[in-house]
Amino acid sequence: MVSLKKYFRKAEVDILTISAFLMAFFLPLHIGISNLFLILFFVASGYYLFLKKQYEVRRPKLLLLTLLPVFLLYIFGLFYSSPPFEGIKIIGRNIAFLLCPLLLFFYNTKDLLRIKKSLFQGIVIGAVISILILLVNNFLNYFATRPFPSFDDEIFNYYYTYYSFSNFLDMHPTYLGAYLIFAISLLLKKLLQNRDIKALIISSLIILTVGVIFINSRMIFFLYALVVFSAIMYLGFIFYTQKKIGALSLIIIVTIAVVFSIIKTLSNTYIFTRLTNELQWELTEQVDTSYNDKLVADSRIARWQSTLEAIGEKPIFGYGTHTEKDVLEGYYKKNGLQVSFKNRYDSHNIYLSFMLEYGVFGLSILLLYLLSNLYISLKNRNVQYFLLIFMVCVIGLFESYLKNNPAITFVAFFGSVFLFSSFPEKLKKEE
C-alpha cells in the first residue's frame, strides 16, 4: 500500500510534469497559454524544491553555461542605455533566462528526466495539432476561390505559404518551424529505435513534413534537410554494417527519387522562388527594391551594413539594453533604407544584435553559451540537445532569435533541462 507521503510526492511531481507538458504543447499553438503553464511550473517548482526540500545541489559553475549570464548582461546593459533603464520593459519578457536555469539547477536527475519526457511529448503532439489546424485553414481558404476538389500548384504560392500559412496562429513561420524540426527529430529517433506504433509515427512525420513545406522558411528547409539526411545516413550505415545491401540500395534510390520529385513539383512555385531569387536578393545590397511582385523592402545585407556601421561607433560595450531599433532607425534614415526606417526593423541577426547592444563583451557571452552547449551535447552524444543549440546558431544568422518570446521560453526551458541532465552527479542532498 502506498504511504500518504509517497502519494502526495507523486501528486507534486505530476503537477510539475503536466505543467511542463502543457507548456511545450502550447508552444506551437499559443505562446500566451504556454507562458501561463510555464509560470505554473515555476510556482510549483518553488514549492516542490524549497518548501518540500526536494532539491539537490550541483556544481555552481554550471550556471555559467546557461542563459543566466545573458540575463545578467541585459541587467548590466540597463545602466548605460540611453535614456538609462530604457530596456527595463523587456526584462520581464526574458525572465525565463533567469528562472529556468535557477530552478532546474536544483532538480534531481530522476525528476529532470521526467520533465524532459513530458516536454518531448508535449511539443510533438502540439506541433502535429498546430499543423493540422493550419492545413485545414489553408485548404478552406484555397477552395473558397475555386471548385472542390480542383487542385493545382497554386496552393504553393504567396497566399498559402510562409506568413500567409502561419498567420492564423499568429506565429512567425521560422519560429514555428523550429518547433517542427525539433519534433521531427524526436519522431525520427523513435522510428529508428524500432519503437511500436510506427504507423502513428510515420503519419505524424508526414504531417509535419507537409507543414515544413508550407512554412516555406529557408532556414527551416535547411534544418529539415540536415535532420532527415542525417537520419537516412544513420539508417544507411546500419544497413551497410549488417550487409543488407538490398535495403541500402533501396534507401539510396528512394531518396534520389523523392528529392527529384520535390524539385520538379516545386520548381515553378513561390517556394522555389524564395529559395533562389529571393535568397539572392537578400544576400546582395538592395535598398528600396522589390524582391517579388508584392513587396518593396531593403535586403538583409543592406541592413547588416548599417548595423556594422553603428557597431563601429561603440564596439566594446555597445549601446545598452533594448536600444537596437532606436539606434538603427537613425542609421537606416542616414543610408536611405526608407522601408527599414519606417518599419523600425532590427538587424535580423542575433550576433549583430548582441554586438550592437552589448559590444564584443556581449557577443562573447552569447558565444560562450552556444559553443559550450554545443560541446557538451557532442560530448554526451545527445542529438536533440545538439540540434536545439545548432538551431539557435543557424536561425540566428537571419533572425534576432532569443529576443522573441517563442524562442526565449523554448530555448531557456529545453536547454536548461538538457544541460543539467547531462551532469547527473550531485554534491549533496538536503535531508
301 vs 289, higher pLDDT: 301
Q: For residue 414, which of 183, 130, 74 has the smallest C-alpha distance?
A: 183
pLDDT over threshold 50, residue 192: yes
Question: Residue 236 belongs to what domain range?
Answer: 4-429
pLDDT over threshold 80, residue 2: no
Query: Which pLDDT score, from 0 to 100, does residue 334 have?
Result: 93
pLDDT over threshold 60, residue 293: yes
Query: Which pLDDT score, from 0 to 100, does residue 430 have?
Result: 38
Rounded to whole angstroms, the Cα distance separating 258 from 278 reads 24
Least confident of 93-102, 241-250, 257-266: 241-250
Rounded to whole angstroms, the Cα distance separating 409 from 127 reads 16
Q: Model confidence over 134-170: pLDDT tens digits?
A: 999 999 999 998 888 877 888 999 899 999 999 999 9
List of long-range contacts for 135-141, beta carbons under 8 Å, 24+ apart: 135/207, 135/210, 135/211, 135/214, 137/168, 138/165, 138/214
Query: Which pLDDT score, from 0 to 100, does residue 428 have?
Result: 43
Number of structural domains found in the chain: 1
Confidence at 429, pLDDT banded by 50, 70, 90:
very low
Query: Highest mean pLDDT range out of 92-96, 130-134, 249-253, 289-293?
Result: 130-134
Write out the DSSP string of 94-155.
GTHHHHHHHHHTTS-HHHHHHHHHHHHHHHHHHHHHHHHHHHHHHHHHHHTSS-TT---GGG
Terminus-to-terminus CA distance in the chain, angstroms? 24
Q: Which parts of 248-406 are beta strand (E)?
A: 289-290, 296-297
Q: How are beta strands 428-429 and 289-290 bridged, if at all?
A: unpaired
Rounded to whole angstroms, the Cα distance separating 264 from 242 reads 34
Q: Mean pLDDT score of the chain, rounded to an integer?
A: 90
Q: Model confidence over 357-399: pLDDT tens digits?
A: 999 999 999 999 999 999 999 999 999 999 999 999 999 999 9
431 vs 196, higher pLDDT: 196
Least confident of 100-109, 215-224, 248-257, 270-279: 248-257
Query: Which pLDDT score, from 0 to 100, does residue 251 have?
Result: 81
Query: Which pLDDT score, from 0 to 100, does residue 423 have?
Result: 86
Least confident of 51-55, 87-91, 290-294, 316-320: 290-294
Query: Which pLDDT score, from 0 to 100, does residue 11 have?
Result: 60
Query: Which pLDDT score, from 0 to 100, does residue 98 have?
Result: 97
Rounded to whole angstroms, the Cα distance separating 212 from 145 reads 24
